[in-house]
Amino acid sequence: MRGGAFNPVRLRYAKRGKIRWISHRDVARALERAFRITEMPLAFTSGFSPRPRVSFGLALSTGHESDAEYLDLVLSEEVELEPLSVALTDALPEGMAVTGAAPLAERAPALQEAVTAVVWRVEPARADGAPIEASELGALIEGALELPELPTSRRKKGREVEEDVRPVIRRCELRATNPVSVEMELTTQPRSAKPGEILAGIARAAGFEEGLADARTLRTHQWIERDGTRLEPLAADTRPRALEARAS
């Protein structure tokens, strides 16, 4: 790192609306541009080609929305985080917003290793896009979850493979909303699955030939779980706010 002390920070951000159609790489570019605009004092790696010390969490599939995306970065100096969140939001494209920030402990586990569960709110539809009634969807979910396995076809490393997604599901509950929605809590370790894959597994297990697809998908929470404790990533592996500590 070039100058200053290590000051790791964790940010939470949202991705809503039309911007859900940009890729994870484009999201990273938008954030990096916002860092430049706001002149964030980013720390850099050492070596022949220094890079900003920024580490993204779990990737969000193109087309999905989220209120709970995270990234870790290292600053070369201590900064006030609330004004920084506002400034970054102003520098981001419409639909993206930094909604929280916390000082992070040094050598905290990487987000991709630490997060163990995610929660989704999904608006299902028939595979052709036609709506499905809540009563029909509820019966499909109830019947499928009683089965010991939910095999589905997934694409991995360029080829189709058969996998059982039942062990990934912690909860899959119908919500009385308009349009009808489902809340899913899914594990991320040792295996994970996308909401669309869960719906495909449910349809296949229930013999629902019309198929199910995720018409709209929102990630609402990510969780870090240790020793029986469940924490939102901004509450895990944090350290005292040095600027506040000096002011008190």
7-108 folds as Alpha-Beta Plaits (3.30.70)
Cβ(170)–Cβ(213) below 8 Å: no
* pLDDT at residue 2 tops 60: no
pLDDT surpassing 70 at residue 81: yes
**What DSSP string describes 122-170?**
EEEEETTS----HHHHHHHHHHHHTSS--EEEEEETTEEEEEE-GGGEE
Domain ranges for the chain: 7-108, 114-226
Please report the pLDDT score of residue 67 as a whole number.
98
pLDDT beyond 70 at 20: yes
Coil, strand, or helix at residue 21?
helix
| pLDDT of 3 higher than 50 | no
Does the pLDDT value for residue 8 go beyond 50? yes
- The overall average pLDDT reported for the chain is 91
| Backbone angles phi and psi of 188, in degrees to 5 | -115, -15
What type of residue sits at position 147?
Answer: L
pLDDT at residue 248, rounded to an integer: 40
Q: Band of the pLDDT at 150, cuts 50, 70, 90?
A: very high
Q: Any bridge partners for residue 123, and if so which?
A: 216
The model's pLDDT over 162-221, given as tens digits with 9 standing for 90+, comes to: 999 999 999 999 997 788 999 999 999 998 999 999 999 999 999 999 999 999 999 999
Whole-angstrom distance, CA of residue 30 vs CA of residue 41: 17
Among 136, 144, 122, smallest CA distance to 61 is for: 122
Name the CATH topology of 114-226: Alpha-Beta Plaits (3.30.70)
Nearest of 10, 194, 21, 231 to residue 120 by alpha carbon: 194
Compute how many other C-beta atoms are within 10 angstroms of the C-beta atom of residue 223: 19
State the pTM of this model. 0.90
Q: What is the pLDDT of residue 177?
A: 79
Q: Would 7-108 and 114-226 be classified into the same CATH topology?
A: yes
**220: which residues sit within 8 A by CB, 6+ positions away?**
66, 67, 68, 119, 120, 121, 183
Q: 22 and 62 in contact (C-beta within 8 Å)?
A: yes
| pLDDT tens figures, 194-204 | 999 999 999 99
